[in-house]
Chain A
Amino acid sequence: METFVKELQAIAGELRQQAAAFAADRRQDEADLAKIRANIYDICATIGNVVCKNTPEGEREAAWLKKLEELPQNWRVALEMAQAHGNGQRAAVEELKLEALEDVLARFRARKEA
């Protein structure tokens, strides 16, 4: 679990570098989107760290997955609201957050299967 958390932190770091590069290339919106993605990897890593500290070893993965299940509930509501009100930019941001979380879970599953 600790190794996976480090992997997530590394991805967040890469995304922040990407964001800086986008900003330097005068692509501020893409920089902002990269920062939003970085935040999601950071959040998942932080939750992982907290779980590692407070949960017995055998229960950590299940506890982390449970927390991650709860995490996107508000994003889904915000996405539906944005779509219903034709707020394309907000919808794109919420979709991006959900995609990033899905990527985290896919990486986790792939790691388990390997």
Chain B
Amino acid sequence: MTEERVLQLFKCLADRSRLRIVQSLLREEMYVERLAQRLGLTPATISFHLKKLEEAGLVTSRPDQYYTMYALRRDDLTLPVVDMIAGATDQSSQQELREAQYRQKVIETFFEYGKLKAIPAQRKKERICLEEIVKVLEPGRVYAEPELNEVLLQFHEDYCTLRRDMISEGLLRRENGRYEKV
């Protein structure tokens, strides 16, 4: 188990309501309304917590007649905590990890549902966003300008700035009005 996974698991469980949901699901699988009744919380609150538990891989769901039944995934929970901590592997150096986290944070800040909310003013942040966008271009393929513009327009209306900055950042090469990913 990776260090990140261990942290995700503990963070998810460090909430009294979620812990109680897990306790209930340890006994039997259950649907939202039943859990809400049992724990004295609203169905909306229960759904919110179940979503988090599902994302952390602690809970699974399946349709059952009119309901969605939730069950506990016991794989990670049956591991002794001491083994989990001792076995947590540091996948990359701390520097690489910090860099990846920074990158992820920039992407989450500036992108929403695959679109660039704004072109970052800071060069480092803009470079990260441009690198993310350039991923959609096929390596080795030569794009005509209108074709490239269409691709960039999917991310931001100011495709001219994106195109120009991709060239100056060395992510894109222009030759006779045709473009290729570097």
Task: List chain A positions with a Cβ less than 8 A from chain B.
Answer: 25-30, 33, 81, 84-85, 88-89, 92, 95-96
Q: Is B17 engaged at the interface, CB distance under 8 Å to the other chain?
A: yes
A-B contact count (CB 8 A): 35
Contacts of B14 in A (CB 8 A): 26
Contacts of A95 in B (CB 8 A): 44
Q: A33-B45, A81-B113, A92-B47 are in contact. Are A27 and B16 (CB under 8 A)?
A: yes
Contacts of B15 in A (CB 8 A): 26-29
Q: Is B67 engaged at the interface, CB distance under 8 Å to the other chain?
A: no
CA distance A6 to B141 in the complex (A): 64
Contact indicator A29/B52 (Cβ below 8 Å)? yes
Contacts of A92 in B (CB 8 A): 44, 47-48, 51
How far is the CB of A85 from the nearest CB of chain B, in Å?
A: 5
Q: Which of B17, B44, B47, B51 contacts A27 (CB 8 A)?
A: B17
How far is the CB of A23 from the nearest CB of chain B, in Å?
A: 11
| Chain B positions 25-70 with a Cβ under 8 Å from a chain A Cβ | 41, 44-45, 47-49, 51-52
Chain B residue nearest to A92 (CB atoms) is: B48
How far is the CB of B27 from the nearest CB of chain A, in Å?
A: 21
CA distance A94 to B125 in the complex (A): 28
4 closest residue pairs by CB, A with B: A88-B51, A26-B16, A92-B48, A27-B16
Contact indicator A29/B51 (Cβ below 8 Å)? no
Contacts of B47 in A (CB 8 A): 88, 92
How far is the CB of A98 from the nearest CB of chain B, in Å?
A: 12
